[in-house]
Amino acid sequence: MNKYYVVDTNVLLYSPQSIFAFNEHTVIIPEVVLEELDRFKSEATERGAHSREVSRIIDELRTQGNLLDGVPLNDHGGILRIETNCLETSLPPHWSRGKADNRILQVCKGLAETNHPTVLVSRDTNMRVKAVILNIQAEDYRNDKVASIEEQYTGRAIVYTSSETIDHFHLDDTNWIESDKLNIYDETNHKLSPASFVTNQFLLIRSTDNDRHTALGRFDGEKVVQLKYRNRNPFGVSPRNIGQVFMQECLMMNAEEAPLVIIKGPAGTAKTFYSLAVGLHRHLDCRPRDYNHILICRPYIPMDEDIGFLPGSESEKIGPFMRGVRDNLFTLMSGHTMTESKEISQVEDTVQMLFEKRIVQTEALAYQRGRSLYKYWMILDEMQNATPRQAKGVITRPGLGTKIILLGDPEQIDNPFLDSRSNGLSYASEKMRGSKLCFQVTLQYDECERSPLAAEAALRL
């Protein structure tokens, strides 16, 4: 059955290509949506860029026929139509007729009253609630949404096998385990069942005879192999838990093996700290250098949108948002044993030198579009506050020899337009799942190493 999908402005500003996401159904754009898009087209922001892109798409479709009657969108029978009617459709008397949202709802109600199966598509929660008041079916735009946070890919699993298999695995670094010898615990039936794995998935292997008899491995797409870097100490840092062992493994791999690393986890699990430690090790301790620069970006909505109106250079503008990076660098350079003010001052000077010599660079995420990065160690922190489009934009930036690390916690989102299913970190994680070029690991609450208070707060608050 053909449906009429009335698309809200916020959907088009979020994903300009959403016009083509409704297959054989009819897409309705009320004329007030065009007026709202026109208000944003002059902005030098991602929202402004999206507004202009939508306008270009509609203008191209205009050449295929009359937009008021409908023009074809695809080969499946989909149609785009601009709606200017339904002006006499009644709304609750206390609703303002001059408000754009109410005009969109009026179009929905008018179409529904003429026996068209109508669905409002909006990312605005209150808009969907108001639609229910008018007895109009309403949905969020789900095309870029991924699984709920409980079902998202973690990059790790616990599996079981015999003690003999584990003993043989430990005998030599070149030994491996066939995947069909491993089982996973089925919580539904409360028994062990054959396991299926994702390429580059990390495994904690436990003995069926002795729960304390374990091994760590990685599924390479065909078999389970040993970890190569578990006994390393990059820049003097040692892993303190299994999650950090897995994290160190994928960070230590070179850019040819693992050009993309995605690390998720709650605050205090050392995601940024470890990424900086391995980056400094690869730049300062290795000869020849594996990477020419360490580049750190963080998405922050006010910073990305309004940075041009703040005084100072780019580094001065984003400096306040990068204090966490300086804190981690200070800890890496000093350890935890310094007490003398002279020693502290020397370490602060060393950290400042890293920035002055551009060994460590900090930039706004918004300025990465269009770049081609060669031999960069690129850390993208707090990526749960980035959109899927931003995530795609930065993942497609690297040239040869560049390694990209995406970090964040999908449960701590500050962007009011994103949630745990629609943010760039979760989107990239789910879409890159199973890629041979992508390694992922999700750290757990009990792997927080910042402090006992940080671990307790991350779990309780």
Last residue of a domain, one of 177, 195, 226: 226
Are 309 and 442 found together in one domain?
A: yes
**CA dist 303 to 174, 266, 379, Å?**
49, 23, 17
pLDDT of res. 316: 65
Is 232 part of any domain?
no
Are 432 and 380 found together in one domain?
A: yes
Is 231 part of any domain?
no
The first and second tokens of residue 37, run together, are 């898009």
The first and second tokens of residue 83, run together, are 């709606």
pTM: 0.83
Last residue of a domain, one of 226, 258, 288: 226
pLDDT of res. 99: 95
CATH number at residue 386: 3.40.50.300
CB 192 within 8 Å of CB 185 = yes
Are 279 and 425 found together in one domain?
A: yes
Are 252 and 213 found together in one domain?
A: no
Is 115 part of any domain?
yes
pLDDT of res. 312: 64
DSSP label at residue 199: T
- Residue 66: count other Cβ atoms within 10 Å of its Cβ: 10
Are 267 and 208 found together in one domain?
A: no
Is 112 part of any domain?
yes
Q: What is the pLDDT of residues 208-267, one digit of tens each?
A: 998 889 999 999 999 999 999 999 999 999 999 999 999 999 999 999 999 999 999 998
CB 262 within 8 Å of CB 434 = no
pLDDT of res. 303: 40
Cα–Cα distance measured from residue 190 to residue 193, given in angstroms and rounded to the nearest whole number: 9
pLDDT of res. 300: 61
Q: How many degrees, rounded to 5, is the angle at CA 238 between CA 155 and CA 225?
A: 40
Are 414 and 266 found together in one domain?
A: yes
Are 112 and 168 found together in one domain?
A: no
Tell which residue, 406, 381, 407, has the closest CA to residue 321: 381
Tell which residue, 98, 154, 208, has the closest CA to residue 410: 154
Which ranges of 25-97 would DSSP assign to H, the alpha helix?
A: 31-40, 46-62
Last residue of a domain, one of 114, 139, 164: 139
The first and second tokens of residue 21, run together, are 């996401």
Are 180 and 101 found together in one domain?
A: no
User: Residue 47's domain spans which residues?
Assistant: 4-139
- Spell out a b/e string for 225-246, using b for 16 or more CB atoms within 10 Å of the CB, else e: bbbebeeeebbebebebbbbbb
Q: How many degrees, rounded to 5, is the angle at CA 204 between CA 201 and CA 208?
A: 130
Q: Per-10-residue mean pLDDT for the chain, 461 residues long?
A: 94 93 95 96 86 96 95 91 95 93 97 95 95 96 86 96 95 92 88 93 95 94 95 93 97 96 94 96 90 88 48 65 85 72 85 91 76 89 91 86 96 86 94 96 91 78 74
Is 130 part of any domain?
yes
Q: How many degrees, rounded to 5, is the angle at CA 74 between CA 71 and CA 76?
A: 110
pLDDT of res. 318: 67
pLDDT of res. 298: 86
Are 245 and 205 found together in one domain?
A: no
CB 202 within 8 Å of CB 239 = no
- Give the three-state DSSP class for 3: coil
Q: What is the pLDDT of residues 87-102, one digit of tens each?
A: 999 999 999 989 999 9
CATH number at residue 56: 3.40.50.1010
Cα–Cα distance measured from residue 262 to residue 408, given in angstroms and rounded to the nearest whole number: 9
Is 222 part of any domain?
yes
**CA dist 443 to 193, 240, 377, Å?**
25, 12, 21
- Give the three-state DSSP class for 451: coil
Look at the chain and report how many structural domains it folds into: 3
DSSP label at residue 398: B
pLDDT of res. 315: 65
